């Protein structure tokens, strides 16, 4: 295994993270801190990405045999994957410092006005009902002015606050950082074991415990959300099936909770057939899933291009690491922001199906934006 285990714990590695000089990735298996850049993978798109990474491992002559970084949503856009000069991993995050209990604060605020998004959802529903496609994921982006912004404290707050299972701060170069806390595992490979956890079907949480429980129970019974989830779960299972034996796919989804959202999730596991198929190869075979794109994918991509007034960049892509042994973890890049000299762009999306209500989808995306806005200390952007 090329990822060395540090004598420090995850809290120490988080403290050592410096935006612009290092990248950090926190998962249930530990904290990974990548410092500096030894080699960068020059990518031209998704199609031959695993081969390009394998080529770098074969020629870079560096003892660190791991890449870390992010892959964008668009299949023809360049990724940001690097072999770091130094790589440290801690098995656990460690004890969390005191964190203010403000993660659900935005749930009680009205949805952030966005008439353009409401209109786009309404048009998508019309097109779905006319048979153009069956599902599309439409996103929103907020631009925030943030002179002198340092991503590192926000990344630490996200990791300690339980905002997502996978927390990341990835150096994109040029003074830009991709940061966020994703609840969704695209795919992981550890030895022979492959796992994925597609999420689709969501509802904002409530600060009132009784109402929160009612919403969770309602999500499990929602025909619209169960329908939406089936698209994502079946697509991931079909994508993994050629590479795995003993693939186990739950017959029904279960609830996944973040401080701001309830999600429907399906934990899918299997055993890799060919050990030469890396985690990155599996991830590129799955990306993008219906949970961030739609069904069928070609028509959904076309709708996204027509209905979203911005370039997604790394939002709805994948973020994580892969090593020369084929192991790795890749999360779906949601609940995220891109920070740079021009400011902060914060993203959130929602799955649109025939039964979607535009104003309900506006409320859902506002709640999802709340993950990053709360961590940033932004409570009023209307």
Among candidates 337, 328, 329, which has minimal Cα distance to 375? 337
Q: Does 135 qualify as catalytic in the annotation?
A: yes
**C-beta separation of 87 from 66 below 8 A:** yes
Backbone angles phi, psi at 161, to 5 degrees: -85, 0
Rounded distance between C-alpha atoms, residue 10 and residue 32, angstroms: 8
Rounded distance between C-alpha atoms, residue 270 and residue 251, angstroms: 15
From the candidates 107, 135, 308, 364, give the one annotated as an active-site residue.
135
From the candidates 107, 127, 184, 364, give the one annotated as an active-site residue.
184
Give the list of residues 6+ apart from residue 380 with CB closer than 8 angstroms, or none.
109
Q: Count of CB atoms within 10 A of residue 306's CB?
A: 13
Q: Does 224 qualify as catalytic in the annotation?
A: no
Question: Known catalytic residues?
Answer: 135, 184
């Amino acid at each position: 295994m090329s990822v060395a285990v540090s004598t420090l714990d995850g809290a120490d590695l988080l403290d050592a993270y410096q935006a612009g000089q290092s990248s950090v990735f926190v998962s249930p298996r530990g904290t990974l801190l990548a410092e500096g850049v030894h080699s960068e993978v020059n990518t031209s798109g998704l199609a031959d990405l695993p081969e390009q990474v394998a080529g770098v491992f074969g020629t870079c002559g560096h003892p660190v045999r791991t890449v870390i970084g992010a892959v964008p949503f668009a299949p023809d856009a360049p990724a940001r994957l690097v072999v770091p000069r130094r790589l440290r991993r801690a098995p656990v995050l460690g004890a969390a410092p005191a964190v203010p209990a403000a993660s659900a604060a935005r749930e009680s605020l009205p949805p952030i006005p966005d008439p353009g998004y409401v209109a786009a959802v309404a048009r998508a529903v019309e097109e779905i009902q006319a048979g153009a496609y069956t599902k599309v994921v439409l996103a929103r982006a907020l631009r925030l002015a943030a002179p002198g912004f340092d991503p590192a404290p926000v990344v630490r707050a996200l990791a300690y606050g339980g905002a997502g299972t996978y927390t990341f701060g990835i150096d994109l170069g040029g003074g830009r950082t991709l940061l966020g806390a994703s609840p969704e595992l695209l795919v992981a490979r550890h030895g022979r074991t492959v796992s994925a956890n597609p999420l689709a079907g969501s509802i904002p949480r409530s600060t009132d415990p009784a109402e929160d429980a009612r919403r969770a129970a309602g999500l499990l019974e929602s025909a619209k959300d169960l329908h939406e989830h089936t698209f994502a779960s079946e697509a991931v299972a079909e994508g993994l099936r050629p590479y795995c034996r003993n693939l186990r796919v739950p017959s029904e989804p279960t609830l996944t909770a973040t401080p701001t959202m309830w999600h429907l999730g399906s934990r899918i596991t299997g055993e890799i057939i060919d050990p030469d198929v890396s985690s990155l190869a599996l991830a590129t075979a799955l990306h993008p899933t219906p949970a961030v794109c739609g069904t069928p994918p070609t028509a959904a991509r076309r709708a996204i291009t027509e209905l979203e007034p911005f370039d997604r960049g790394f939002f709805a892509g994948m973020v994580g690491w892969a090593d020369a042994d084929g192991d790795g973890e890749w999360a779906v890049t949601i609940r995220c922001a891109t920070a740079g000299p021009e400011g902060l762009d914060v993203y959130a999306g929602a799955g649109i199906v025939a039964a979607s209500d535009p104003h309900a989808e506006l409320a859902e995306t506002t709640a999802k934006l709340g993950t990053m806005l709360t961590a940033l200390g932004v409570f009023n952007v209307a």
